[in-house]
Amino acid sequence: MNVLLCPLSDPGYLYPAIDIGRELRHRGANVYAVGPANSVPPAAEAALSFLPAEDYGAERSSFMAAYWSRKVPGQYQTILRAARDIKADVLVTSILCQGALLAAEVIDLPVIVIGFAAHIWAYQNANGEPAHPAVRVFRTRSMIHGFEESREQIGLTPRTSGTGGNPLIGTALLLRGDPVLEHPGAILPDHVHHVGPLTWEPSAQSEQLTEITDRLDRVGKPVAYVHLGRFFGKTSAWPRLNAAFTGGPFQAVVELGRTHDPQPAQGADLVVVRKPWMGPLIDRAEFVLTDGTSAPVLQTLVRGRPLGISPVGSENMVLGPACVRAGVAVYIPNSMHPTPVDVLRSAWRHTPFRVRAGALGQRLTKTNGSRRAADIVQTAVNGRPVTEALHLDQRPSCTA
């Protein structure tokens, strides 16, 4: 079986695909990853064959999440050519990578889409959500409209008006969270499956990790890990972070992620980093502050840590409230009052909060997401219906 991994190249999209690819390679599949040059190091560490997107004439930005809606033709051409070169049997891509969906359609291949921790599109029985279900419907319709425009750009005929279902789901859409993170009563579309977290990430470099932990040990205060996501035009988080971690009882490691222009105040107990890994730093922390992006949320929960969440964007506005509803996160307003340190003070010793985070983390870990996802990939290639009844304790061979 020949597998082409073709996700977006940002870590939150790339790493889950690599996690699945490693499991499929272990089962005997030939696994290739296509992407820009910045995807080479993690693919190499995972021992996956790599196809440089630049060799197919693609710009690096074609696979960047920041340009996902503007670079679909480049994605499409690259993935189409790479899939033909390796004689792919299946494509494994990420949510928002519409070029992979179009390439799979043209060469008639199954395409597995790796989603977020919770479902963001429209579904049945959404009336009970605090946010009006029209928000989901609008998001879904606008995305499908953009997908249809991309079809037209590359010369495909429009889908017929009677075509049912959500084309963004592909053959199967894999959600990396737990059903408890969906709104109660949600009836998700066919072909949408919870597989659990796909939390592979590159290994931390020991000397870099030691340098960070030594600085934390010298300060000696309890540690919060802060993962900054994209701001989507919102105000900077730095005034709040400086206020929270200057002269207070806590210190923080701040992962910049995709943000720019760090502004730590002089004297603030902040260690600012930009690393391709976060797990060891979350291990060192007792609490995690984030905007509610899937990668830091899942890495936090599988380690049994509680969360403070300040949602600012589309995915955040679904996953953030879900974590609060599940009792594993507290909401932190995007304002100076209360500051994150006020929330930390109130939540720090709240035992039920930590117990619930630990319990959900254990449940997520037990799902063994990469194995379950690999089962679904194989089932799709074999042409069988993909169902939630796949056995988690089987590891079939891909060599046939």
Rounded distance, CA 393 to CA 381, Å? 20
Tell me which fold the domain 2-196+368-381 belongs to. Rossmann fold (3.40.50)
Helix axes 98-106 and 134-153, enclosed angle (nearest 10): 50
pLDDT of the residue at 301: 97
Instruction: Give Cα 215 to chain centroid, integer Å.
Output: 29
The structure tokens listed for 324 are 């609060």
pLDDT of the residue at 127: 63
pLDDT of the residue at 386: 58
206-365: same fold as 2-196+368-381? yes
Sheet holding 111-114, edge to edge: 49-52, 30-35, 2-5, 90-94, 111-114, 172-175, 192-194
Rounded distance, CA 34 to CA 155, Å? 23
Residue at token pair 């995305």: 143
Q: What are phi and psi of 93, to 5 degrees?
A: -130, -175
Residues 6+ apart with CB under 8 A from 5: 17, 18, 20, 21, 31, 32, 33, 34, 48, 92, 93
Residue at token pair 């440089």: 52
* DSSP assignment of 102-119: HHHHHTT--EEEE--SS-
Confirm or reject CATH 1.10.730.10 for domain 206-365, answering yes or no: no
The answer to whether 329 touches 306, Cβ cutoff 8 Å, is yes
pLDDT of the residue at 66: 86
pLDDT of the residue at 333: 79
**Quick check: bond before 338 cis, omega within 30?**
yes
- Per-residue pLDDT for the chain (400 aa), expressed as one digit of tens each? 999 999 999 999 999 999 999 999 999 999 999 999 989 999 999 999 999 999 998 888 899 988 888 889 999 999 999 999 999 999 999 999 999 999 999 999 999 999 999 999 988 776 677 666 678 888 899 999 999 999 999 999 888 765 667 999 999 999 999 999 998 888 898 899 999 999 999 999 999 999 999 999 999 999 999 998 765 445 778 888 898 899 989 999 999 987 888 899 999 999 999 999 999 999 999 999 999 999 999 999 999 999 999 888 778 889 999 999 999 999 887 766 666 777 777 777 777 888 999 999 999 999 999 999 999 999 999 986 655 434 443 434 444 3
Give me the residue spans of the domains in the chain: 2-196+368-381, 206-365
Amino acid identity of residue 271, one-letter, is V
pLDDT of the residue at 396: 40
pLDDT of the residue at 55: 94
